[in-house]
Amino acid sequence: GAGVSQSPRYKVAKRGQDVALRCDPISGHVSLFWYQQALGQGPEFLTYFQNEAQLDKSGLPSDRFFAERPEGSVSTLKIQRTQQEDSAVYLCASSPFGGGGSQEQYFGPGTRLTVT
Amino acid sequence: AQRVTQPEKLLSVFKGAPVELKCNYSYSGSPELFWYVQYSRQRLQLLLRHISRESIKGFTADLNKGETSFHLKKPFAQEEDSAMYYCALGTAGKLVFGAGTILRVKS
C-alpha cells in the first residue's frame, strides 16, 4: 500500500518568505510526527499529533514554526519568515498507534528546504 | 536529558567481516531503543527494536542497561548492508536520534 508521502520534495525559499510543507500519513494512522534533519545530523523531533490533537510541540524551534492536522489525517508544517538556519530536510512519520508509547514510525521521503 | 550518542561517523569494513555499530544513551527511565536504517535514495525505515529481541537481516542488538548501550552487531557484513544507521531512543511517543553512522562494506 501507499506509504507516507510529503510534498513538495524540494523547496527553495528566499529569506523572509513563508513556506508550507504537507504530509499525507498512511491511511488510518493515529499518530503523526514532524522531525527536522540538518545536514550531517540525525532527525530532531519537532511536534507530535494524535489524531487532530497536537500533544507535544516542545521541539518547535521558534514561534515562526506552526503545525496543524485539522481533520486527523493530512498535516501541514508552516514556517513563517524563513531564515537560513531553517534549511534542512523536514521528515514526517506516522504510526498506527496512539497512547504515548514509542512504536515503529513509518517515515516519508522528506522535504528538503533551502533558504537563500 | 535524553541523549543518544553514536561515536563513529563512518565505519568501513570488508565483506564477510564482523560489524559493530556503537550506540550509547542517556535516559532516566526504562528505555525503548530502536535501530533505523536509510539505504541510498530510500527513506528511513525501522531495522529492529530492542523489545522484540529479533534478528533482522542478520543484525542483532542487545540492550545493556549497566553500560547504557544498544550496539548493533552482525557477524558477517554484506555489501548490501552499506547504509546510514541511526540509533533512536523512544520517549513519550517521540524518537530521539543519534547523529548516525555510515556503514561502508567493501568487497
- Give me the mean pLDDT over the B57-63 stretch: 92
Burial class (CB in 10 A: 0-12, 13-18, 19+), B75: exposed
- Under an 8 A CB cutoff, do B93 and A110 touch? no
Q: Would you place residue B31 in the very low, low, confident or very high pLDDT band (cuts 50, 70, 90)?
A: confident
Is pLDDT above 80 for B21? yes
Q: Which three cell numbers stand for residue A41?
A: 545530523
pLDDT confidence bin for A100, thresholds 50/70/90: low
Domains of chain A: 5-110 (2.60.40.10)
C-alpha distances (whole Å) from A87 to each of A14, A15, B34, B46 are: 11, 10, 27, 25
Q: CB-CB: which of B45, B93, B97 is closest to A102?
A: B93
Give me the number of domains chain B comprises: 1
Q: Which domain holds residue B65?
A: 3-106
Mean pLDDT of A70-83: 97
Percent of residues, chain B, with pLDDT higher than 90:
80
Q: What is the pLDDT of residues B66-77, one digit of tens each?
A: 999 999 999 999
Is the predicted pLDDT of residue A103 greater than 80, yes or no? no
Determine whether the interchain pair B34/A102 forms a contact, defined as Cβ–Cβ distance below 8 Å. yes
CATH of the domain at B31: 2.60.40.10
Cell of B99: 547523529
- Within 8 A of B4 by CB-CB distance, chain A residues are 42
Q: Do A105 and B32 touch (CB under 8 A)?
A: no
Which among B75, B77, B86, B57 is positioned nearest to B15, based on CA atoms? Answer: B77
**Mean pLDDT of chain B, nearest integer:** 94
Measured at the alpha carbon of residue B41, what is the angle toward residues B38 and B42, in degrees to the nearest 5? 50
